[in-house]
Amino acid sequence: MLFIFIMTMLLIMLAVGIHYQALYSISVFLERIKIAGRLKVMLGVLMALIAHFIEIWIFGIAYYLIGNYHESPDQLVSVDGEIITDFYSCIYFSFASYSSLGFGDIVPEGPIRFMAGTEAVIGLVFIAWTASLLYIEMQKHWIKPHPK
């Protein structure tokens, strides 16, 4: 359990750093670029999605490495009871966890459940954080002048 706790804390710090830097960079970039306001918002959304995908992949890689190279009861298991060890299934599980969608066709067993639950909270917070930045950008670029 201590190993999973430490890994989860490291993943949280890495993800927060990535997300902060991504949102900051998006904000600065959109301020400097000279294109139409709506295109700026669309570009901001695409850039934010890339940041989310990077964070999801980082968690997915961690699930893969822990499941394949760490001797512990930590594993991802299919509904048939089959232990999941392939890379893309770990990425898929990370997408389902981060988005809080949680299909249930792959479930964590052992202390790794802490990491999966934490990823869901991280995803929820980061999606809200991104939405607030995009709302601010929309306010800047979608304000229409009032007729006099």
pLDDT, tens digit, for every residue of 126-146? 999 999 999 988 888 776 655
Residue-range domain boundaries for the chain: 14-138
User: Has residue 41 got a pLDDT over 90?
Assistant: no
| Residues whose CB falls within 8 Å of the CB of residue 73, separated by 6 or more in sequence, listed in order | 109, 110, 111
pLDDT above 90 as % of the chain: 68
CATH number of 14-138, picked from 1.10.287.70, 2.60.120.10, 3.30.70.1710, 1.20.20.10: 1.10.287.70
Alpha carbon 124 to its chain's center:
9
- pLDDT value of position 144: 62
Taking a C-beta distance cutoff of 8 angstroms, is the pair 72, 111 a contact? yes
pLDDT, tens digit, for every residue of 45-95? 999 999 999 999 999 999 999 988 877 777 999 989 899 999 999 999 999
CA distance readout (Å), 139 to 27, 40, 48, 107, 127: 13, 12, 17, 40, 18
